[in-house]
Amino acid sequence: MKMLFKILKLCAIGTAAAALLFWGAALLIDRAGIMPLRQIIARFRFSPERVSRSAALRDVDDFFSTLERVHPDVEINIGHDAYVKMKRQTIAEVNNKSSANGSMTVRDLAYVLSYSAAAIGDGHTRINYRYDIDTTDAKKRFLPFAVASNDGRFVISRDPGGQFGGAEIIAINGTPFKEFLRPVLEHISGETLKFRAYQFARDQSFWSDFSGLFSGLGSFNAALRLKDGAIKKVGFNTADAAGTVSVCSGTQGGGVSLDVYHKAGVGWISYASFDNSEQQKQEISGIFKRLRTEGIRDLVLDLRGNLGGDSSMGDLIFSYISREKVTQLNGKIKISKELLRAFPRLKYLKAHLGEVVNTDSDKGASPVPEDFFSGRVYLVVDNGSYSSASAFAAAFRDHKIGKILGYETGEPPIAFGNALKFSLPHSGIRYTVSACRYFPRKPLPGDDKHGIIPDIVLNDTLLRPYGGRVKDLVVDSIVKRRMQKDMQL
C-alpha cells in the first residue's frame, strides 16, 4: 500500500512538473511577448463549439477593452459616433444570434466580431478565426469557379468548364458583383476595398463558407465581360464544398527568387514575403552577387502578393540599390501593458502608459555592399502588396529610386501596424490589434486614403498584346526604353 502511495505521489509530481513546463514554454514561445495567464489558457485549450450568451458578451467586452487600450486611435477612420454605434450593434448581434437556451456558436461570435474588427479600417486589427470546411456537407454552396481580384475587378482565374477563364465578372443576378460581395467584404479587415477584394479572392472558399453568402443558391445568372470585350450573360449552377475546395485551393508561393533574362539584360526578383531569416538574407546576397557577375543592366523587384513581414528585410534590399540612406517608416506607438510585455526593451516608457509617443526609426546608414547594383531599378506592385511591402513601395517612391509599375498597393502609406496577438478568454477566438501608426518619409495628399499609385498603371490594353503576362510586358518595355535612350546618346 505504501508503495502504491509513493507511485501515485510521483505521478502527481510529474504531472505538475509537466504542466509547469508546458505553461512556461507557452510564455516563452509566444512571439508577441508574455501574455496574461487567462489569454494563454484560452490560446492553448481546445476551443469550445458553443459559449453561453453571458460568456460571449464578456468576450465582446474584453475585445473592445483591449482594442481601446492597445490601438493608437480606434476612431480615426470611422469617427466617434460610428464607433459607439458599432459597439452597440455588436452586442445586439450577439443577443440576436443566441439560441433559445442562451448560447451561440463560437463561429457565429467570430463572424460578428470580424465585422467589428474590419469596421476599424485597419488591416492589422482583425479576427484570426479559421476552420476546415466540411466537404461532406451537401448543403454548402459555392461559386463553381475561382476568382482573382485585379485592381478591384474580379476575373475568373480557374474555370473547370474551360470556357470563361479570364472573363471579368460584372454582375450576379443583376447585382454588380462587388456589391453582391459587400456582405462578405465588410467582414474582411483592410484599409481599402481593393485589398479586401484581394483577400476574398485569396481565400475564396473560406470566406464564402464563413459568410454563407451562397447558401440556398442552387443556380445564378452572371454577366461576364469576355476577353474580346463582349458582354455575355451565362447561367451557372453553384458547386458543392468538395468541388470548390478543389478548384479554389492554390499554393501561395514563398521566399525570394531570381529569373534572369540574359538576352534582355534584365533581372527579375520575385519577393513573396519579408522573412527575417539567415537563409533569406543569404539568398538575397547570392542574388545580387549573381546580378553583378552576370552583368545585368536593369532590375525588377516584384512585390505582387507580398503581404509584408519584417521591414528590416526592406532595409537590406535598399542597401543594394540606393547609395542614399533610405528611411522607410516613422511612427507613433500606443504605450500599453501588453506592448511592454511584448517588447521589454520599451520598459523605460512605462511612465507613459495610455499615451501615444513618437518612435525613432533611424537605424543609421548601412554600409554599401560589395555587390551593390548600379543599374536601373523598377518596382512592380499590386493590391496584394501590403504592410512592409507597401511601406517599401512608399520609400521607393519618396527616395525616387525608380519607376513603379502595376496596380495600387493594398495599404495606404499612412496606416497602422505592429500588431499584438490576443485570445478571448471564453471562446478562445484569436485576434490581433495594431499598436503603432506609421507614416512615410514624405507624406503626400491621399496617403491616408489609398495605396501607392504606380507611375505606370497596368491595364488590359497594355497587357493584351502580351497575353496578359506582366513579366513579358515589363521586360519588353525596359528593353525598348533602353534602346530609345541609347539612340539619344
- CATH pick for 146-248 out of 3.40.50.720, 3.30.470.10, 2.30.42.10, 3.40.80.10: 2.30.42.10
Rounded Cα distance between 428 and 109, Å, is 11
Confidence of residue 9 (pLDDT cuts 50, 70, 90): very low
pLDDT for position 228: 86
Query: Where in the chain is CATH 3.90.226.10?
Result: 256-488
Q: How many CB atoms lie within 10 A of CB 229?
A: 9
Residue 283: predicted pLDDT: 96
CA 51 to CA 144: how far, in whole Å? 34
Residue 243: what residue type?
Answer: G
With a CB cutoff of 8 Å and minimum separation 6, the contacts of 460 are none
Average pLDDT estimate for 338-346: 93
CA dist 65 and 354 (Å) reads 13
Q: Which residues, other chains included, contact 383 with Cβ-Cβ below 8 Å and sequence gap of 6+?
A: 149, 150, 151, 152, 192, 194, 195, 197, 198, 407, 408, 409, 410, 451
Mind listing the pLDDT tens digit for each residue in 42-51? Answer: 444 556 899 9
CATH code 2.30.42.10 region(s) in the chain? 146-248
Is the separation of the CB atoms in 366 and 315 below 8 Å? yes
Compute the Cα dihedral for 461, 466, 469, 473 and give only its sign. Answer: negative
CATH topology of domain 256-488: 2-enoyl-CoA Hydratase; Chain A, domain 1 (3.90.226)
Q: 163 — phi, psi (to 5°)? A: -100, -35
Q: pLDDT tens digit string along 389-438? A: 999 999 999 999 999 999 999 999 999 999 999 999 999 999 999 999 99
Q: Kindly indicate the confidence band of residue 378, based on its pLDDT and cuts at 50, 70 and 90.
A: very high
